[in-house]
């Protein structure tokens, strides 16, 4: 007398090995889906003499009638479990809570913000110090946030649901890792290059900024690192980046007068604004900033003017030394009258307060973030 176990995530599908047994009167447990019951020739619920029927159909392995038969050694027929199928139940559970839960009904994307942040930090703590069970629990809490926000979005007239979120994941990963997914290669460096190239192509297709998609509310150091990663991929000149951005100092004093976090974020956002201003100016000329010389021109820095001559435009930027940079509209690059002695602020991006560093020569019409050509980030 076999026990046929259904997949709870697909309650109206009978395992292939049990199809031939679905004749006569079938014993079923209470949770069997009505869609399947309607397809049976005859059935009876356990407790109504069902224990005397040859086949027991259930989706609950823990049901007393199922456990009794399995313990008695009866044959079990079940389909191959589908990994991830329990997520379907989680989606259904979240839907019920949103429709009937008084607290869940009142929540919005904004009201859940603090919970989302808390769950991320608790997950990070579990990764560092937690047990296997704690890590599993925190991942579940984060999944709750994904399900909750997706369900809230589904309530909007032009909203989306969890399937759209999952499809977004599938589309993005499939597009950015084609070589690995189709079995073409398993090379780490190539995979990273493919991912970054795909992201760059997406931004270029949208004709957006190289900084698009960077979240400015993330921690200031993480924000700075993300900005640097983006700019480095476009040959952005390191000379245009204030040392105060990649050399952060925290004062050791009893009463700090400023927040290092806030100051770092301010400097990072100022750099972002200046990058976008350069991009806007370049696009007005039909230029896409992908090399250092173009960046220099639209940032107001010294650049190789000959690369922009019509007759010399080969698409390649010549290799030149620092001494060979020329200034647009100025044939006398070494004219001392074009420079002024300034005190370099500890934050050359935006502050007017004096610094201990003096005597740096700065071109008068160069933006505030460009202080000296020979800063170096080597070793940083």
Between CA 2 and CA 15 the distance in angstroms is 12
State yes or no: pLDDT of 369 exceeds 60.
no
User: What local confidence, expressed as pLDDT, does residue 52 receive?
Assistant: 58
- Cβ proximity of 367 and 299 under 8 Å: yes
The count of other CB atoms within 10 Å of the CB of residue 350 is: 18
- Cβ proximity of 128 and 138 under 8 Å: no
Whether this prediction's pTM lies above 0.95 is answered by: no
At residue 47, the 3 state secondary structure works out as coil
Between CA 350 and CA 341 the distance in angstroms is 18
The count of other CB atoms within 10 Å of the CB of residue 218 is: 13
* Dihedral sign computed on CA atoms, order 229, 230, 233, 237: negative
User: What local confidence, expressed as pLDDT, does residue 321 receive?
Assistant: 45
State yes or no: pLDDT of 260 exceeds 60.
yes
Between CA 352 and CA 262 the distance in angstroms is 17
Residues 8-40 pLDDT 10s? 777 778 888 888 888 888 999 998 988 888 889
User: What stretch of H or E contains 102?
Assistant: helix 102-106
State yes or no: pLDDT of 54 exceeds 90.
no
User: What local confidence, expressed as pLDDT, does residue 207 receive?
Assistant: 65
Between CA 362 and CA 343 the distance in angstroms is 10
Nearest to 24 by CA among 65, 57, 55: 55
Residues 325-351 pLDDT 10s? 444 444 444 444 443 443 434 444 444
At residue 106, the 3 state secondary structure works out as helix
Nearest to 358 by CA among 370, 345, 348, 367: 345
User: What local confidence, expressed as pLDDT, does residue 86 receive?
Assistant: 85
State yes or no: pLDDT of 122 exceeds 90.
yes
User: What local confidence, expressed as pLDDT, does residue 226 receive?
Assistant: 92
User: What local confidence, expressed as pLDDT, does residue 309 receive?
Assistant: 62
- pLDDT range class, residue 380, cuts 50, 70, 90: very low
State yes or no: pLDDT of 291 exceeds 50.
yes
The rounded percent of the chain whose pLDDT value lies above 90 is 39
Residues 218-253 pLDDT 10s? 889 999 999 999 898 888 999 999 888 888 888 888
Query: If 0-12 CB within 10 Å is exposed, 13-18 middle and 19+ buried, where does residue 291 land?
Result: middle
Task: Return all residues near 97 (Cβ < 8 A) that are at least 6 apart.
Answer: 104
The rounded percent of the chain whose pLDDT value lies above 70 is 78
Tell me the mean pLDDT in the region 303-317.
60
State yes or no: pLDDT of 354 exceeds 60.
no
Residues 92-106 pLDDT 10s? 999 999 999 999 999
User: What stretch of H or E contains 56?
Assistant: strand 56-58
Query: If 0-12 CB within 10 Å is exposed, 13-18 middle and 19+ buried, where does residue 378 land?
Result: exposed
Q: Please give the mean pLDDT across all residues of the chain.
A: 80
User: What local confidence, expressed as pLDDT, does residue 267 receive?
Assistant: 92
Query: If 0-12 CB within 10 Å is exposed, 13-18 middle and 19+ buried, where does residue 341 land?
Result: exposed
Tell me the mean pLDDT in the region 311-337.
44
User: What local confidence, expressed as pLDDT, does residue 352 receive?
Assistant: 41
* Dihedral sign computed on CA atoms, order 139, 114, 103, 88: negative
**How many Cα atoms sit within 13 Å of 159 on the Cβ side?**
13
Tell me the mean pLDDT in the region 153-165.
94
State yes or no: pLDDT of 49 exceeds 80.
no
User: What local confidence, expressed as pLDDT, does residue 139 receive?
Assistant: 96
The structure tokens listed for 357 are 């560093």
Angle, helix 132-154 to helix 86-100, in steps of 10 degrees: 50
User: What local confidence, expressed as pLDDT, does residue 315 receive?
Assistant: 45
Q: What do you get for the CA distance between the two ends of the chain, in Å?
A: 71
Strands of the 42-45 sheet, one edge to the other: 42-45, 25-28, 56-58, 3-5, 76-78
Residues 177-205 pLDDT 10s? 999 999 999 999 999 889 888 877 877 77
- Cβ proximity of 281 and 296 under 8 Å: no
User: What local confidence, expressed as pLDDT, does residue 123 receive?
Assistant: 94
At residue 341, the 3 state secondary structure works out as strand
User: What local confidence, expressed as pLDDT, does residue 138 receive?
Assistant: 96
């Amino acid at each position: 007398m076999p026990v046929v176990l259904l997949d709870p995530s697909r309650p109206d599908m009978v395992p292939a090995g049990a199809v031939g047994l679905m004749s006569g009167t079938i014993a079923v447990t209470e949770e069997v889906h009505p869609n399947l019951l309607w397809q049976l020739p005859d059935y009876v619920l356990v407790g109504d003499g069902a224990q005397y029927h040859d086949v027991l159909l259930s989706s609950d392995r823990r049901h007393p009638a199922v456990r009794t038969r399995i313990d008695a050694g009866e044959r079990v027929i079940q389909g191959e479990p589908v990994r991830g199928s329990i997520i379907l139940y989680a989606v259904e559970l979240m839907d019920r809570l949103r429709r009937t839960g008084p607290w869940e009904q009142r929540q919005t994307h904004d009201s859940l913000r603090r919970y989302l942040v808390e769950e991320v930090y608790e997950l990070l703590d579990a990764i560092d110090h937690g047990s296997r069970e704690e890590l599993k629990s925190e991942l579940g809490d984060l999944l709750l946030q994904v399900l909750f926000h997706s369900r809230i979005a589904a309530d909007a007239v032009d909203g989306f649901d969890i399937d759209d979120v999952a499809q977004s994941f599938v589309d993005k990963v499939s597009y950015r890792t084609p070589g690995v997914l189709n079995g073409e290669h398993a090379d780490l460096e190539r995979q990273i290059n493919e991912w970054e190239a795909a992201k760059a192509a997406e931004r270029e297709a949208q004709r957006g900024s190289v900084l698009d998609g960077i979240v400015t509310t993330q921690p200031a150091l993480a924000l700075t690192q993300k900005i640097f990663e983006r700019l480095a991929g476009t040959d952005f000149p390191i000379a245009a980046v204030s040392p105060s951005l990649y050399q952060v100092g925290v004062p050791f004093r009893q009463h700090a007068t400023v927040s290092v976090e806030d100051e770092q974020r301010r400097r990072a956002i100022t750099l972002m604004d200046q990058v976008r201003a350069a991009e806007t100016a370049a696009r007005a000329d039909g230029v896409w900033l992908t090399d250092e010389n173009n960046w220099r021109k639209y940032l107001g820095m010294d650049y190789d003017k000959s690369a922009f001559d019509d007759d010399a435009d080969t698409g390649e930027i010549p290799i030149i030394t620092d001494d060979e940079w020329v200034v647009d509209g100025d044939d006398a690059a070494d004219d001392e009258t074009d420079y002024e002695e300034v005190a370099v602020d500890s934050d050359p991006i935006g502050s007017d307060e004096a610094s201990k560093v003096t005597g740096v020569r700065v071109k008068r019409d160069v933006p505030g973030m460009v202080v000296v050509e020979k800063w170096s980030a080597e070793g940083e």
